[in-house]
Each structure stands twice: as structure tokens, then as C-alpha cells.
Amino acid sequence: MITIRPSSERGAANFGWLDTRHSFSFSNYYDPQHMGFGPLRVINEDKISPSQGFGTHGHRDMEIVTYVLEGSLEHKDSIGNGSIIRPGDVQRMSAGTGIMHSEFNASATDAVHLLQIWLLPATNGIDPGYEQIYIDPAEKQGKLRLIGSQDGRDGSVTIHQNVSLYSSVLKAGDQVSHTLGEGRIAWLQVAKGALTLNDQALTAGDGAAIQDLDHLTLASTAAETEFLLFDMAA
């Protein structure tokens, strides 16, 4: 079963410096029908104005993945990390017993466009942690590239949850397939472009909850399509 979450039905807020869309309930947006999917709790699509951002604030017991689509995001945290996240980078921050951090657009002239993802950890109370990797765009072109996993395999970031997170960039006519194991569910998030998922059409910003299916076929219907696929324990 595929249940599409249309982009136009997401929660939305615009604060001037931040234009944001929420696939699941978050902050002032509350919808009891959309509280998450499996261990996936938050997918926020954020566009942040130049030199603006989120001041220092805290999190605990959450796995936070940041995926930048355009521009650059500056990260600082209370365990000593400071970095710039750009397209191609994947950042994982484990809040664990508690962490403080800030996120600001690193550019004084250009907006930053990103997806921020929260997953519930398999175990609460772990030590806070941080990891950032760069994946060459060629590794995602026309294929599914693992970018996050529970065991950090294949050069992916380590996510403390039973999830395999894939990224892909497809040109028009490109197609990839994925098989879900027994007891697995999936979430598809289209970041750019348009595609079909088992012949169901989705466009940028759309998501899809996938259950009771073992084979997925994803085909780009735009000049270039970028998406994330979460393969998770039910």
C-alpha cells in the first residue's frame, strides 16, 4: 500500500527569514493523522534567508539528519563541533542525553534550502554524538546510494535506529528499484523534480508512506529528480 502525502497538504509557516514545510506535526502545526511514520518523526523542508537561522537551542533523545539541497548551513554545538554543510554533505547529530546547537545560513547573499529529518532512536539516553560525511554526486546518479544506516556500512553516517536511508539523483527516464524485506516499511520524500513510484506520480515536496509492499520501482519524469528513501523496521 502506498499513501501519498501531497506537498500542498503539509504544515506551513513563513516567518520572513524562514519558509518551512512540515510533513509531520511540528511546532505550531499539529495534525493527529500525521505524527510520524514508524521511527520517522520529522521531515521539515526549510528555506532560510541569508545570514539568518536558528539560535542556540537544545534537543535530547533524537537522531537528527540534515541534508542540504542548495546553499550552505553553519552548524555549532555544545560538544565542540563546528562545520559548514553543503550539497553532497550528510550530517547526523545524536542528541542523546542532551545537546545544544545552532544552525545559520552561512551565506550573506544566498538562501539555503535543506531537509531536516528527526528519527526516534532505538535506545534513549545515549551519549550525544556528531558525524558529517561528503558523498560525491556521481555516487547518487542513477542509483540508490546508502547515506545513513544503523551500522554505518558503506561509508554512510551511523543512525542509532533500524533504518537504511538512501539518496538518489535520476535524469529523465532513469529508473531504480528497491526491495523491502519482511517486516519493513518505507518512506519516500521527493526533494526535487518528479517521479513515479510503482506508477503513482509524485512531485517535489510530496512524500509517500509504503507498507505491505516488497518491490519498489522509482522512475524520474523530470529532467532531474532527487529523493530520499527510508527503509525502516515497522
Q: What is the per-residue pLDDT for 99?
A: 94
Q: Output the CA torsion sign for 180, 161, 155, 112.
A: positive
Q: What is the per-residue pLDDT for 42?
A: 98
d(CA 168, CA 141): 6
Domain that residue 200 falls in: 2-233
d(CA 234, CA 39): 8
Provide the CATH number for the domain around residue 205: 2.60.120.10
Closest to 102 measured CA to CA, from 148, 151, 38, 48? 48
Residue whose C-alpha cell is 547529530: 93
Cβ atoms of 197 and 190 closer than 8 Å:
no
Q: What is the per-residue pLDDT for 124?
A: 97
User: How many structural domains are present in the chain?
Assistant: 1
Tell me the helices (H) and strands (E) count for the chain, helix number first.
0, 22
pLDDT tens per residue across all 234 residues of the chain:
999 999 999 999 999 999 999 999 999 999 999 999 999 999 999 999 999 999 999 999 999 999 999 999 999 999 998 999 999 999 999 999 999 999 999 999 999 999 999 999 999 999 999 999 999 999 999 999 999 999 999 999 999 999 999 999 999 999 999 999 999 999 999 999 999 999 899 999 999 999 999 999 999 999 999 999 999 998
Q: What is the three-class DSSP state of 10? A: coil
Cβ atoms of 215 and 199 closer than 8 Å:
no
pTM for the structure as a whole: 0.96
